């Protein structure tokens, strides 16, 4: 009896140790996988997917950097952009740097001005005879400045949707058959860390389009991974400044999806669970009261202000015109 009583603490300690090990096992395994993926695993040989890569939005920023990186791995390139002179400059720079070992083709198209079927036709014609194994959907279009949803003009609204949603969708649709035929390929969709935030007002349409890209990536990854096609959505790091506050996003890969968890936590710490419109107003919307006034009243107030400004300009023009006439000047006011 005494022996049993003395052994009881050991049994409790062992049971607690087992429970603790079970509780820690999953996060520890996750940590090991993350360290392996981030720092230890060897890079893939991208040429195993195919000898060509197609990059949209390849004349600036991330797309241009991707093009140069892929060329450094020995992949030939199909560059897609809307500016012929920029495409020519990037193509020449790649040829100068890598010589004859890398071929470069260009497709000039503005996704904002063509339908999905027309985009698909352009891409199919441009990649004919090439072994495209890697697709980088990078092209994107955002607002020139933050604005309320009802203030987005119809032309801009259509362009944002065609470039960010239809463009990537139809390009992917055009490239997939070739990847399915050889049962291998890689599709990388450039997304935005903003889709991880609880809300992102004043750029609503842009963020909604990026959320579409994130869901598209996850869904087609499940559809086509059995055919040897890898799909990745990259929510790239970004630096944004609102009201003088400089915020950085740090990307960390989790499986196929790259998320910006550090930025998400940082943002919630500073701005709470919901994101206030006033955070984004800056010079455009200085008054917090605006977000509390019905939209109809805001529109009426703006129209009244515009009418007053027009009347003031007309009045000043009349005074100036009268002064010029009195001085005998022949100057005409337009």
What is the rounded CA–CA span in Å between residue 254 and residue 62?
21
Instruction: Centre a 10 Å sphere on the Cβ of residue 173 and count the other Cβ atoms it contains.
Output: 14
Q: What is the dihedral of CA 291, 275, 232, 174, to 10 degrees?
A: -10
Indicate the range of 65-79, 144-158, 268-282 predicted with least confidence: 268-282
pLDDT of 290 reads 40
Indicate the range of 19-23, 72-76, 124-128, 240-244 predicted with least confidence: 240-244
Q: Which of 244, 159, 262, 257 is nearest to 205 (CA)?
A: 159
pTM, rounded to two decimals: 0.66
3-state secondary structure of 53: strand
Task: Give the residue numbers annotated as catalytic, written as ranges.
Answer: 206
**Left (φ > 0), alpha (ψ -120 to 50) or beta: where does 115 sit?**
beta
pLDDT of 267 reads 32
pLDDT digits (tens, 9 = 90+) for 8-25: 677 788 888 888 888 888
Average pLDDT over residues 175-197: 92
What is the rounded CA–CA span in Å between residue 99 and residue 69?
15
- Cα distances from 36 to residues 97, 236, 276, in angstroms, run 32, 20, 38
Go through the domains of the chain in sequence order and give each one's CATH number: 46-289 (3.40.50.720)
3-state secondary structure of 80: strand
């Amino acid at each position: 009896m005494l022996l049993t009583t003395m052994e009881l603490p050991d049994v409790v300690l062992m049971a607690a140790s087992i429970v603790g090990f079970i509780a820690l096992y999953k996060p520890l395994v996750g940590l090991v996988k993350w360290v392996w993926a981030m720092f230890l695993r060897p890079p893939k040989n991208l040429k195993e997917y195919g000898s060509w890569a197609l990059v949209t939005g390849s004349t600036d920023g991330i797309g241009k950097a991707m093009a140069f990186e892929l060329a450094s791995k020995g992949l030939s390139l199909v560059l897609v952009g809307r500016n012929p002179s920029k495409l020519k400059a990037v193509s020449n720079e790649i040829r100068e740097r890598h010589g004859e070992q890398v071929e470069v083709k260009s497709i000039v198209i503005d996704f904002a001005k063509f339908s999905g079927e027309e985009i698909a036709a352009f891409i199919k014609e441009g990649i004919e005879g090439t072994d495209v194994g890697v697709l980088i959907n990078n092209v994107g279009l955002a607002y020139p400045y933050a604005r309320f949803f009802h203030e987005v003009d119809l032309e801009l609204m259509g362009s944002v949707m065609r470039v960010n949603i239809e463009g990537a969708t139809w390009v992917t649709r055009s490239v997939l058959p070739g990847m399915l035929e050889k049962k291998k390929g890689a599709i990388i969709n450039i997304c935005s860390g903003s889709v991880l935030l609880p809300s992102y007002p004043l750029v609503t349409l842009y963020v909604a389009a990026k959320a579409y890209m994130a869901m598209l990536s996850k869904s087609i990854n499940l559809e086509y991974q059995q055919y040897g096609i890898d799909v990745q959505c990259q929510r790239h790091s970004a630096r944004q400044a609102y009201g003088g506050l400089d915020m950085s996003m740090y990307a960390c890969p989790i499986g196929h999806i790259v998320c910006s968890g550090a930025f998400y936590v940082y943002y919630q710490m500073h701005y709470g669970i919901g994101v206030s419109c006033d955070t984004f107003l800056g010079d455009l919307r200085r008054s917090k009261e605006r977000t509390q006034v019905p939209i109809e009243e805001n529109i009426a107030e703006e129209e009244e202000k515009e009418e007053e400004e027009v009347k003031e300009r007309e009045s000043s023009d009349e005074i100036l015109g009268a002064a010029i006439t009195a001085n005998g000047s022949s100057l005409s006011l337009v």
